[in-house]
Amino acid sequence: MEQENRLLHLETIIARNQGHFCDIGRALNEIRKNRLYKLALFETFESYTRAWWDMGRAYAYRLIKSYEVVCNLSPIGDILPANECQVRPLAQLEPIEQRKAWQRFLNSGMEITALNIKKFIRTRTMDNLKVTPNLSIDDRFYLLLHKKIMNKTGSAKRRAKKYYKDQYKKTGIIPAPLFLAEKGIMEGRKCSGRPRSIDEQTKRRFIEIVKASCDPSSQGFIFITRKARAIKNYHHWLEQELGRSISLTALRRCARRENLKFFLCPSAF
């Protein structure tokens, strides 16, 4: 009975404090830790938050993490982050680093916004990389790893962290993408070292036939009605003409980058 009353009290806090992220995070944290959601006949915390509060797993855990960060910052002053977005950049740091980063941010005199906090922490991370060239290889690896994954969240962050730690453990060598992250190259084929998914010849020919197929007087390709100008059709014609396999996904990306939407069938996107 006592636990049921406690659950009711915590749910009342969540319902009444929809704008106060810290109170909601504290209530959710207690419900999760003490498994009070089972009293509401839910098997998991995630199913409870989804059904009861229409709240995804990632957001619920971010609120809990935000509450923990604010508790950690409370002893150093009265000025605290005002919402979960402002806490998010700090949540990626260790507790001691959270306090240091927040105190330095307040001392900087910058306006307290989520964007300014994110920029400040990112700048400090880059400064640490520049001014500590004599770090041990282990320390350098973990510093670069933090830089690489600092903008990721949830499962994507956990997978990336595990992947790079496994690579480093196996080889003893810092993975190349982490060095690229040091230079500000964070994602994509340039970071991984993979070649472009379509070469320049394919790209030029794709753009050429798309534009030519819209002009009845053009000799570059047959005229095609707008309804038939689907990317999958151009994909088929290109593969036949060039005699090699071409990524359909890469063609879609190319169409968006080159602003070919005007020429193609609306449903192509």
Establish if 113 belongs to a structural domain: no
Establish if 75 belongs to a structural domain: no
What integer pLDDT is reported at residue 193 of this predicted model? 52
Residue that terminates a domain, selected from 69, 97, 116: 69
- Let me know whether 148 and 170 are in one domain: yes
Establish if 38 belongs to a structural domain: yes
Establish if 90 belongs to a structural domain: no
What integer pLDDT is reported at residue 127 of this predicted model? 59
- Let me know whether 223 and 170 are in one domain: no
Closest CA to 238 of 259, 212, 258, 262: 212
Q: Which two tokens stand for residue 200?
A: 């320049």
- Let me know whether 165 and 211 are in one domain: no
Establish if 253 belongs to a structural domain: yes
- Let me know whether 24 and 62 are in one domain: yes
- CA distances 160 to 92, 156, 167, Å, are 14, 6, 11
Distance in angstroms (rounded) separating the CA atoms of residues 183 and 193: 14
- Let me know whether 206 and 246 are in one domain: yes
When divided into structural domains, the chain yields a total of 3
- Let me know whether 178 and 216 are in one domain: no
Say if pTM beats, i.e. exceeds, 0.85.
Answer: no
What integer pLDDT is reported at residue 216 of this predicted model? 86
- Give, for all 269 residues of the chain, the pLDDT tens digit: 677 777 777 677 767 655 578 888 888 988 988 888 888 888 898 888 888 888 888 888 888 988 899 888 888 777 888 888 888 888 878 788 888 888 888 888 888 888 888 888 877 765 555 545 567 778 888 888 887 887 777 888 888 889 888 888 887 788 878 877 766 666 655 555 555 678 888 888 989 988 888 888 888 888 888 888 888 888 888 888 888 888 888 888 888 888 888 888 766 55
CA 141 to the chain's CA centroid? 21
Closest CA to 73 of 32, 117, 37: 117
- Let me know whether 222 and 176 are in one domain: no
Residue that terminates a domain, selected from 164, 179, 195: 195
Establish if 123 belongs to a structural domain: no
Residue that terminates a domain, selected from 50, 69, 88: 69
What integer pLDDT is reported at residue 214 of this predicted model? 87
Establish if 127 belongs to a structural domain: no
What integer pLDDT is reported at residue 215 of this predicted model? 86
Establish if 109 belongs to a structural domain: no
Closest CA to 262 of 207, 216, 222: 207
Residue range(s) defining the domain that contains residue 188: 133-195
